[in-house]
A and B are shown apart, each in its own frame.
Chain A
Amino acid sequence: MSDTSKIYKQIQTAMTIHRRDFRIAVFGPIIYIMSTISITIGIVIIRNYLSYIESNGLYPMPDLFSFPYRWVIILTGVYLAFSAVVAIARERESGAMELLFYGPVDNVSYVIGKYSAQLIVYCLLIILYLVCFFIISNIAGVQIPASFFMMMLLSLFTGAYLISVGVFVSTISKSVRSATLVFLTLIASTLLIQASQAWLSNVAPESDYYNPVLLLQQLLGWVQVVLTWLSPFSYLNYGVNEMLRGNMIAFLRVLGLSFVFCMTFIVSSIIGLKIRGVRQ
């Protein structure tokens, strides 16, 4: 089989897997429940802002919608990444992945098919959010600024990155339980390290030099620097801030880095699946 026809076949297979997963997601109730919860949180934040403006007469900020939108995106991204984690790990655990690999499905087509389905669902949800935010802006009587659309573009990249992390975790995990555990541990440890670092920076060591608390502060600081370089949340935050500062080079750099990380995790997922195998 020539390389071209192999790639064609891989694309065809990936598309089939993509369509199946996409249909399951779109015709199932979960994403609507999740998006309703996300938008509810966004609305609660916007309500708080509006109430503040109402009582104080004024609130200067870069954009009324950017913070609530970031929350909506984080919840959606985490959900879809988690959904990818569970979907792939469950298929392996139940033997359904093996069933697929009886046929003309390989690591590349499987990973791409699964990933692209989540990504397209994510894109559609972003469009849904855009419409919802337009409705909210009309009810609130506040205009959506142009920067909001840039943020949507950014959220596409950081969300794509987050989902790729979920796919990677699931391809290297043995079971749903272990994949869920790894994914939740990743999220929890990120939060824990940040919280610990913030807390420890306020803890006064009893002595001065070579104090274990100081050492731990330093250590957690380094870990957090690494997390900053890896975390999709950090990229979202950094990208939004730089965009609002008008630093388009930094903004494009975030897009580029998110894309590179996303590709890295997809390739790692393909390799991970090959090493880990399709059987539990």
Chain B
Amino acid sequence: MRKFIAPILLSLFGLMTMDTNVRIVAAETNDDDKRDLPGLVDKTEKREEFVYGVNAYNGTLYQGVFHPPSVDTIYLLADTINIISPRKTLIYYWAVTNEYKADFDSMNEDLPGALEIRLNGNLVLTVEPTDYVIQYPEGITQGAAEVYLGGAAQRKYGEWEEALKAYRLEVSEYYEASRNWRTELTDRVQSGEVTSEDDVLVSQPMRPADFLYSSTKVFRGVPLNLPSGKYDIQMRNDEGKIVADSVKKLVVFQSDRVGVGYTVIPEDKWTTPEQTYNPGEMLYVRSNNTLYLEPFFESEYNEQYFTHLEAPQAPNFVNSDWKWVKEDNFKISGSSRWGRSGDAADVTFIGERRPGRHINDEGIGYDMQVIERGMIQDPIEFEDYMVRQNPGQALGYEILEAMEGLSQGMRERAPDFSAFEIVVRRSLQDLQVNLQGDDGAILGGSTRTVDVVRGTGSTNLFLALILPIALGILMVGYRRYSLKIHREKLASATIENS
């Protein structure tokens, strides 16, 4: 709680805009809120409106949002495919969240026509709607999103359906095999053939890997891939007329900076990690502590733009700041090798390059370079870690290297996290860490300074107040003293004169 008092105080003096903390996020387009509060349903009036449904790429995945007539600007990331879908639907005002919602279930009409994009008043692009599908071959939470347009959309959607069908078949076969295996196992146990657990495990059927491949249905929309700039957007229907409420501003932006953030896990509080986004930020740490640093790629955007990309109806920012956005695109080689066999191979931390954005090349492994007082120390390697709960009365846990964990019988588990380990000794001074690639280059924006806090928040800090108090006493005292001396001098001069 303590660390939140300061920003609130700061906001009072305008040093931080309060609205960043109270922003309404996520413009969901379903009626969940309303269903939670049935008493309010009748009060909402639905009306037919033109809206833009937008699948906006946020650097990690596609965010589905819609822009009612009350929103005058659409925000999109530059140099990525975004899908804009002109629709006629029913919208209603939802006072609970202070925003409009769309009832796409009741009405979701495609509008014939084309989108016109203007830059400085000149028409630069006219695009007609096409079929599209958005897929995440490695799952929504990891890997890249893929967008397929036109015929490819239908084909890829078909492939996804086939893959799903195959997965379901595999699962079905797995359950069948499992049933058979249990039956066989029961028989063998009863007959006394099975003597060790290992025998059983070896012959157990393998569960198919989770089906992470994800896909939207095939929809119609207008794909846009624009360089950064401030455009105007409008829809012209088949009759050549501008559709009412379709004229909006279109802000296409890119990140201001890219960097590497870290999730920092303190050894003694691994469930409450902190995150550091700002390159060059200080990590103030208590001495005699061990930290685990999990790196991630990140991009910094204009906060106003990015917030409205994800939540178009959020209030406008008065003072737009910058916002770091975590992008989980560091990959770890060898992670798939974790299985029940327990033969974990060496793990390498691999950075992935997105053209023009990060300085590291795909496939380069990284170590953590540590510089103490200007001297380069031994590099720290990226390791997998497991957390073992201590049994019995001694509540707590310990963090073990994965290999060590395996030797302690935690074979069924994948590592809990992978990170660089920094042991913070009290003697550490001026410590700087960054990521250094195999090619010797430092990964841009990966530097952090670790400052070991040796003191505590004790009352000794108030000793600093002695200085202004003493100075005040000295100056005021000097003034009084000099006046006294002057007065005495004058008095003696007066006596002499008289």
Asked whether A and B interact, the reply is yes
- How distant is A31 from chain B, measured CB to nearest CB, in Å? 8
- How distant is B240 from chain A, measured CB to nearest CB, in Å? 28
- How distant is A276 from chain B, measured CB to nearest CB, in Å? 29
Cα–Cα distance between A278 and B279 once the two chains are bound (Å): 54
Does A253 have its Cβ within 8 Å of any Cβ on chain B? no
> For residue B465, which residues in chain A have a CB less than 8 angstroms away from its CB?
36, 39-40, 43, 132
Does B291 have its Cβ within 8 Å of any Cβ on chain A? yes
Does A1 have its Cβ within 8 Å of any Cβ on chain B? no
A49 touches B471 (CB 8 A): no
> For residue A238, which residues in chain B have a CB less than 8 angstroms away from its CB?
319
B70 touches A190 (CB 8 A): no
Does A103 have its Cβ within 8 Å of any Cβ on chain B? no
A48 touches B318 (CB 8 A): no
Cα–Cα distance between A237 and B275 once the two chains are bound (Å): 22
A70 touches B464 (CB 8 A): no
**Per-residue 0/1 for B147-158: is the Cβ within 8 Å of any A Cβ (1 yes, 0 no)?**
000000000000
Q: Is the interface of A mostly helix, strand, loop or mixed?
A: helix
> For residue A191, which residues in chain B have a CB less than 8 angstroms away from its CB?
12-14
Cα–Cα distance between A24 and B96 once the two chains are bound (Å): 58
Does A104 have its Cβ within 8 Å of any Cβ on chain B? no
Interface of chain B residues 247 through 270 with chain A (CB within 8 A): 257, 264, 266-269
Interface of chain A residues 11 through 58 with chain B (CB within 8 A): 26-29, 31-33, 35-36, 39-40, 43, 45-54, 56-58
B289 touches A60 (CB 8 A): no
A132 touches B467 (CB 8 A): yes
Looking at B183-191, B343-351, B403-411, B454-462, the stretch in contact with chain A turns out to be B454-462
B9 touches A128 (CB 8 A): no
**Per-residue 0/1 for A183-223: is the Cβ within 8 Å of any B Cβ (1 yes, 0 no)?**
00000001100110110011111111100000001000100
**Per-residue 0/1 for A119-135: is the Cβ within 8 Å of any B Cβ (1 yes, 0 no)?**
00000000010011101
Q: A-B contact count, CB below 8 Å?
A: 227
Known: A208-B93, A221-B318, A234-B14. A53 touches B286 (CB 8 A): yes
Cα–Cα distance between A224 and B279 once the two chains are bound (Å): 30
B282 touches A201 (CB 8 A): no
A142 touches B451 (CB 8 A): yes
- How distant is B412 from chain A, measured CB to nearest CB, in Å? 30
Does B475 have its Cβ within 8 Å of any Cβ on chain A? yes
Cα–Cα distance between A207 and B94 once the two chains are bound (Å): 9
Select one of A58, A67, A136 contacting B6, CB under 8 A: A67
Does B493 have its Cβ within 8 Å of any Cβ on chain A? no
B430 touches A231 (CB 8 A): no
Chain A residues with a Cβ closer than 8 Å to the other chain, count: 78
Cα–Cα distance between A22 and B271 once the two chains are bound (Å): 55
Cα–Cα distance between A231 and B319 once the two chains are bound (Å): 12
**Per-residue 0/1 for B70-99: is the Cβ within 8 Å of any A Cβ (1 yes, 0 no)?**
100000000000000000000001011110
Q: Residues of A at under 8 Å CB distance from B?
A: 26-29, 31-33, 35-36, 39-40, 43, 45-54, 56-64, 67, 70-71, 74, 128, 131-133, 135-136, 139-143, 145, 190-191, 194-195, 197-198, 201-209, 217, 221, 224-225, 227-228, 231, 233-234, 236-238, 241, 244-246
Q: Residues of B at under 8 Å CB distance from A?
A: 2-3, 5-6, 9-19, 22, 70, 93, 95-98, 100, 257, 264, 266-269, 272, 274-276, 278-286, 289, 291, 315-316, 318-319, 321-322, 430, 448-449, 451-458, 460-465, 467-469, 471-473, 475-476, 478-479
30 interchain pairs, CB-CB under 8 A: A28-B476, A32-B469, A46-B457, A48-B2, A49-B457, A50-B456, A51-B457, A53-B284, A57-B266, A57-B291, A59-B284, A60-B283, A60-B284, A62-B281, A74-B13, A131-B467, A132-B467, A139-B461, A140-B457, A141-B453, A145-B449, A191-B13, A194-B18, A197-B19, A201-B22, A203-B98, A204-B98, A233-B14, A238-B319, A246-B280
